Amino acid sequence: MNEATDRRDAIVLGVGGMGSAASYHLARRGLDVLGLERYDVPHTHGSSHGITRIIRRAYYEHPSYIPLIERAYELWDDLAERSGRPVIHRTGSVDAAPEGNVVFEGSLRSCEEYDIPHEVLTGAELGERFPGYALPDNYLALYQPDGGFVVPEQAIVAHVEAAQREGAEIRAREPVDGWEETPDGGVRVETADATYEADRLVLAAGAWNCKFADALDGLAVPERQVLAWFQPKTPRLFQPAEFPVWNLSVPEGRFYGLPVYDVPGMKLGKYHHRDEQVDPDEWNTEPDPEDEALLHSFAERYFPEGAGPTMRLATCMFTNSPDEHFILDTLPEHPQVAVGAGFSGHGFKFASVVGEVLADLAVDGETDHPIEMFRFDRFD
């Protein structure tokens, strides 16, 4: 083992969406912070890439997310102002499904409970207002004007630059081999290049988190995901000003998509694409014809004017918890270690506030944010 370098206040494992935000919020509090990333900053090997990521105030997954998403919006806007980077774009959002389906009903419930401005449209009315959509006439759609997308690569860069301005050190291409608790209750982190010590540790390594904490075994499971961008037959219908981001539940499954931005194609994906659990160090990172056909056939049926030639395919990873809700807590046996894991394919929009939560947990062991439903003890 290498001799440890000078001791830090906090080390962050992983400098993707969550880790970059945690590094910033820790450094902003005056802590001496080291962020360690196994790949580049940013990179395309995990979960925090893909050009655009949906953000929405209407939240069908559970109303408890609403206070967090409200704070996330505030922090994204603050980051955009501080960095000068346009990290968030508002296009409106649509949650649509047959009547009685949770995607519509849950979104409506969250808007009513938290007094979020919204409209309810039929599939026919939605298509009249936004002609890129071709949903069945009797589907119900909740339209919320503040929805939109975050640009993940720009967001990571903005958080890292902000952290560096506050004095944080970020080291890319330095994989972590492991960590252990020190006799005085701190942590020692071993990489191929060096050994580091700190008072606190934040695990924000995405799909690799399960390799650094036994408590996450079976609770943060990586899954292969594929994204597609299809050239629109009528491009004007799929520009950000004319095409809200969307979540759609149909007999073929639950899908999501975004307008044309930085790639000449409408972007879409299917939640739990082909239900492929993977090892993050050994998995098929190349999209194949079956991946493409699955997504293109969906687009042809529900967004026919957007279902032109394939412009791009890409893989990423979900990391799923058993109930598909986040894991935000300290490790049961190591209270000096904060964990952000199990974001289950809907976490990036929250990265700005998750960074704040992880900083709270690392420094104080608790947070004023409402995270009770995200604690480890729910799995007991």
User: Of 38, 267, 270, 273, which residue is the catalytic one?
Assistant: 267
Do the domain assignments include residue 109? yes
Maximum C-alpha span of the chain: 67
Are both 316 and 340 inside the same structural domain?
Answer: no
Question: Does residue 4 have a pLDDT over 70?
Answer: no
Give me the CATH number covering residue 13: 3.50.50.60
Read off the pLDDT band of 251 (50, 70, 90).
Answer: very high
Q: How far apart are CA 69 and CA 40, in angstroms?
A: 28
Please give the mean pLDDT across all residues of the chain.
97
Q: How far apart are CA 40 and CA 57, in angstroms?
A: 31
Are both 190 and 162 inside the same structural domain?
Answer: yes
Q: Which of 272, 297, 320 is the last residue of a domain?
A: 320
**Any catalytic annotation for residue 319?**
no
Do the domain assignments include residue 231? yes
Residues 140-155, mean pLDDT to the nearest whole number:
98
- Note the pLDDT of residue 349: 98
Residues 57-72, mean pLDDT to the nearest whole number:
94
Are both 342 and 274 inside the same structural domain?
Answer: no
Q: What is the pLDDT of residues 280-294, one digit of tens each?
A: 999 999 999 999 999
Q: How far apart are CA 374 and CA 366, in angstroms?
A: 13
Do the domain assignments include residue 343? yes
**Any catalytic annotation for residue 211?**
no
8 A C-beta contact, residue 70 and residue 56: no
Q: What is the pLDDT of residues 287-339, one digit of tens each?
A: 999 999 999 999 999 999 999 999 999 999 999 999 999 999 999 999 999 99
Q: pLDDT higher for 63 or 175?
A: 175
- Note the pLDDT of residue 222: 98
Beta strands (DSSP E) in 219-376 are 221-230, 245-250, 253-258, 266-270, 310-320, 327-331, 334-341
Q: Which of 279, 295, 320 is the last residue of a domain?
A: 320
**Any catalytic annotation for residue 111?**
no
User: Of 25, 52, 57, 346, which residue is the catalytic one?
Assistant: 52
Are both 14 and 122 inside the same structural domain?
Answer: no
Domain total in the chain: 2
Are both 197 and 132 inside the same structural domain?
Answer: no
Do the domain assignments include residue 342? yes
Question: Does residue 259 have a pLDDT over 60?
Answer: yes
List the one residue out of 30, 40, 246 whose CA is nearest residue 10: 30
212: containing domain: 8-48+153-217+324-379
- Note the pLDDT of residue 6: 77
Give me the CATH number covering residue 131: 3.30.9.10
Are both 189 and 234 inside the same structural domain?
Answer: no
Which structure tokens are listed for 325?
């809700």
- Note the pLDDT of residue 2: 65
Question: Does residue 76 have a pLDDT over 70?
Answer: yes
The pTM score is: 0.97
**Any catalytic annotation for residue 44?**
no
Whether the bond into 131 is cis, omega within 30 of 0: no
Residues 239-253, mean pLDDT to the nearest whole number:
98
Helices (H), 43-132: 66-83, 102-114, 123-129
Question: Does residue 348 have a pLDDT over 60?
Answer: yes
Question: Does residue 1 have a pLDDT over 90?
Answer: no
**Any catalytic annotation for residue 270?**
no
CA distances for 18 relative to 8, 15, 22, 24, 328, angstroms: 20, 7, 6, 10, 11
Do the domain assignments include residue 136? yes
- Note the pLDDT of residue 171: 98
8 A C-beta contact, residue 369 and residue 356: yes
- Note the pLDDT of residue 85: 95
Residue with tokens 């296009």: 91
User: Of 8, 28, 45, 49, which residue is the catalytic one?
Assistant: 49
> Which sign, positive or negative, has the C-alpha torsion 349, 351, 356, 362?
positive
Read off the pLDDT band of 63 (50, 70, 90).
Answer: confident
User: Of 254, 272, 301, 378, which residue is the catalytic one?
Assistant: 272
**Any catalytic annotation for residue 272?**
yes
Q: What is the pLDDT of residues 153-200, one digit of tens each?
A: 999 999 999 999 999 999 999 999 999 999 999 999 999 899 999 999
